[in-house]
Amino acid sequence: MADAASLLAPQPHGATGVLVLADGTVLWGRGFGAEGSAVGEVCFNTAMTGYQEVMTDPSYAAQIVTFTFPHIGNVGVNEEDLESHVDGAVGCVVREDVTAPSSFRAQGEFGPWLAKKGKIGLAGIDTRALTRRIRLSGAPNAVIAHAADGRFDLPALLKKAQEWPGLEGMDLARVVTRREVEEWEGGVWTLGKGYARSPHSPRPHVVAMDFGAKDNIFRSLVKAGAQVTVVPGTTPLDGVLALAPDGVFLSNGPGDPAATGSYAVPVIQALLERDIPVFGICLGHQMLALAAGAKTTKMHQGHRGANHPVKRLEDGVVEITSMNHGFAVDNTALPDSVEETHVSLFDGSNCGIAVKGKQAFGVQYHPEASPGPQDSFYLFERFVGMLG
């Protein structure tokens, strides 16, 4: 890489931030946001907008996001664009320095907001070269660090990166899930009015299992006509059934689906046995697949961005989708009980399934967007339409 160095190379003048990869590669830059260090897997996101939604998506827990779009942070931040109040990405890597906000919606600046959230930013990095490296060699473990005085203990940072076990086998959903049952009240957003309140008229009741959900998923269920109760992802079967759901939603989330599935999959299997309609997104999709007898695998680089083409197999329609995942359902060994419904046009990986004989389906991408296109909102309507 053009701006890569080893631990023995001299630190560039003025460098106040650094990314140390587990293989010893050192990328120097200008730190912003919180000071300190954080370890995680380095991924890249190709979205041109929505960096605040990305940074507050719990699915990015224990990850360092490299933004391929060079100008990140320039429209500032605001309270309406948060996707969650729990931990998401630990830090971000950007090409250009963040400038003053230029949006009329801005309520603050990106750098101070990151600092308040305890997240580290690193500017001045050749993000194209870093992205190419991830595409060729896979997503590396690394430490991102920021110190205003420019002092870093590089051997200690390298040791931290090398000792971190990585995302495979991690149950991060247990870390980011909410702790209490919540009656969801939020509706759709409109400019100048903010978020509407959920209607209180009788509606089909969806119990949403939160494995690290984005808030716009719940808003989308409300928009599609549902009443939503959100429960922790660790909720046992009896706790779900006690709420008398017409259908159960399985949310997105971080970490290894096989690890989270150790407690979630038996619940999902019991729901399928009772013929309760089920809809899963991202991690929820993967665990639905596990419950139906499929397998999941760790991807080489993952899919993250707001411009991923997906083919719907029933009619050949191509949807442009928002994605964020580092694991996928293995579509080379699907059981007879599972039908593949969507595939990625980038690499042919699985992007959707339906469980045969059941009202149960899932997609690997994010039909609620935030950020991203809205081609796939019909999936929420399809699910709510199953509930009578």
Give the containing element (helix H, strand E) for 113: helix 110-117
Count other C-beta atoms under 10 Å from residue 181's C-beta: 15
Q: Among 282, 308, 319, 351, which one carries the catalytic annotation?
A: 282
**Strand residues in 8-161 grouped as ranges (E):** 17-21, 26-33, 36-45, 63-67, 91-93, 120-123, 141-146
Residues paired with 36 in a beta bridge: 146
Q: Computed from CA positions of residues 109, 115, 118, 119, in that sequence, does the dihedral angle turn out positive or negative? A: positive
Residue 368 annotated in active site: yes
- The two structure tokens encoding residue 380: 């929420």
Residue 325 annotated in active site: no
Residue 366 annotated in active site: yes
Nearest Cα to Cα of residue 323 among 340, 358, 299: 299
Cα–Cα distance, 22 to 36 (Å, whole number): 18
Q: Among 285, 325, 342, 366, which one carries the catalytic annotation?
A: 366
Cα–Cα distance, 4 to 10 (Å, whole number): 11
Contact 276, 250 (CB under 8 A): no
Residues classed as catalytic: 282, 366, 368
